[in-house]
Amino acid sequence: MQLTAEKNRLPSRSTAEMTVEELSLLKYALGSSEAISRYEAEHRPQRGAKIFGFIPLLLLYMLMECRKSTYRGIVKNLSDHDCACIGLPFGKDGKYRRPSAATLNEFVNGTLSEAVLGIGSETARAIITSERSGIITIDSTPLQASRYNFDADYNPHYSIRMDKAHIIMLNGCPLFMLLSGGNAGDNPFAETLISLFGSAGGAGGDYRIYEDGSYDSFMTYAKAYIVTGKAPVCNQGADAVLSGVGKDKIREEYAKMWKNGDYDPHKKNDTDFMLRFLYRNGKEELVGKYVRDVSMTENPNANPRHLCETVHRASKRWIDFSVFNVKKRMKTNRMNCRFLCIQLLSTLFKPYIA
């Protein structure tokens, strides 16, 4: 997927309602999507042809979410200008053809739900490929539910019933999301999110991870170092203390494992090699202790993790990023679709530069 050209990106991250003209900037990126092309090829009808393409229906769905409308409402209120921007076809009478509310509903809950993870992963890879350096942030954001939704946990901190979305971002662009109950801890999801980032091409770039105190875990420090090659920056508590694991301890533990096949006696002064060796051979916690001490000692002057809060706030103004009026059986699919909307909308803005 080729993202929107840098010169065509919007200069500042606005929290205003996204317009149909701004959404139309995504047509080029979506048109270059291999995931969409592959899905259309695999689901080409055996007879006849589809009236509405995948991309116009996706943009129409995004317009519906941006306007916080319903399937029936967005179709009813579509203007010719809207149709032109999102690329709906002409009919034989020379007028734009508008899909029915049922057609759009079927697209979102059927077609898009099947393809959403593939498109989202491709978008994440495109973002990472285009930005080989920058700031990675990990955090969760509440997904508010109705007070009468007893399937959602009551969270005493926010004083609402809610679920949680755990999100990893690069320079303000969301990459991956995991859903959980409203009272789930943040840290258990960090390793998976960092692994997803690494498997999408993030390993090898010039990145540093920023996180809050809820991620102050040896295993999270270790995974963050293995993927980025740098100690993450964490807002630790005032009572945080060093573990006391230095290079001598790393070298000592490395020397004890001389029988392992990939042991190299000439690498005893290569800290990075030894840390990765120990991590591969079951010493993740030891690696995490060392990396955490490095992080505490380096103590960077600024932790720009406020960026993720800014994006969360903007996202919830762009679309209704909550689980209000979402049926339990449809919740995962609908939130994945809404997250894809946020991903694509974020690519319209110039990346955050610290």
Q: Please, are residues 225 and 152 in contact by the beta-carbon 8 Å criterion?
A: no
Report how far residue 168's alpha carbon sits from residue 348's, in angstroms, rounded to the nearest whole number.
18
Lowest mean pLDDT across 14-18, 86-90, 179-183, 346-350: 14-18
Q: 212: which residues sit within 8 A by CB, 6+ positions away?
A: 139, 234, 235, 305
Under the banding of pLDDT at 50, 70 and 90, the label for residue 16 is confident
Residue 111: the pLDDT is 94
Q: Is residue 129 a contact partner of residue 203, using CB atoms and an 8 Å limit?
A: no
Answer whether 168's CB lies under 8 Å from 196's CB: yes
- pLDDT reported for residue 311: 84
Give 255's DSSP letter.
Answer: H
Give tens-digit pLDDT for 49-75. 788 999 999 999 999 999 999 999 999
Average pLDDT in the 134-158 region?
93
Reported as a single tens digit per residue, the pLDDT across 319-344 is 999 999 898 899 999 999 999 999 99
Quote the percentage of the chain above a pLDDT of 90. 70
Q: Give the pLDDT of residue 91.
A: 87
Give the burial string for 319-354 (b: 16+ CB within 10 Å, else e): bbbbbeebeeeebebbbbbbbbbbbbbbbbbebbee
Please give the share of the chain, as a percent, with pLDDT higher than 70. Answer: 95
pLDDT of residue 302: 60
DSSP bridge pairs for 207:
134
The one-letter amino acid code at 345 reads: L
In which band, very low, low, confident or very high, does the pLDDT at 20 lie, cut at 50, 70 and 90? Answer: very high
Structure tokens at 100: 């029915």
Token digits of residue 345 = 């909308």
Give, in order, the Cα–Cα distances in Å from 243 to each of 98, 214, 268, 286, 300.
63, 18, 21, 10, 19
Rounded to an integer, what distance in angstroms lies between the CA atom of residue 342 and that of residue 322? 13
> Of the ranges 48-57, 176-185, 291-300, 319-328, which is most confident?
176-185
> Which pLDDT band holds residue 312 (cuts at 50, 70, 90)?
confident
Residue 329 is given by DSSP the state G
Task: Please tell me the distance from the alpha carbon of residue 86 to that of residue 6, in angstroms, as a whole number.
Answer: 21
pLDDT tens digit string along 91-144?
888 899 999 999 999 999 999 999 999 999 999 999 999 888 889 999 999 999
Q: How many other C-beta atoms can be found within 10 angstroms of the C-beta atom of residue 57?
A: 22
What integer pLDDT is reported at residue 227 of this predicted model? 95
Q: Give the whole-angstrom CA distance, residue 132 versus residue 290.
A: 26
Q: Which two tokens stand for residue 326?
A: 């979402």
| Strands 160-170 and 153-155, bridge-based pairing | antiparallel
154-159, long-range: CB within 8 Å, 24+ apart, which pairs? 154/182, 155/182, 155/183
107-121, 189-203, 294-308, 337-351 — which is least confidently predicted? Answer: 294-308
Please report the pLDDT score of residue 92 as a whole number: 85
Distances 56 to 25, 42, 231, 320 between C-alpha atoms, Å: 12, 18, 43, 21
Residue bearing tokens 């920058």:
134
Please report, for the chain, how many H helices and E strands are present, in that order: 15, 6
Question: What is the distance between the alpha carbons of residues 166 and 197, in angstroms, rounded to a whole number?
Answer: 13
| Amino acid present at 327 | K
What local confidence, expressed as pLDDT, does residue 94 receive?
87
Query: In this predicted model, what pLDDT tens digit does every residue of 232-267 receive, in sequence order?
Result: 998 887 788 899 999 999 999 999 999 888 899 899
* Structure-token match 């002057």, residue found: 301
Which of these ranges, 10-19, 144-153, 190-199, has the smallest mean pLDDT? 10-19
Question: How much is the pTM?
Answer: 0.92
Beta pairing partners, 173: 170
Residue 354 near residue 135, CB atoms below 8 Å: yes
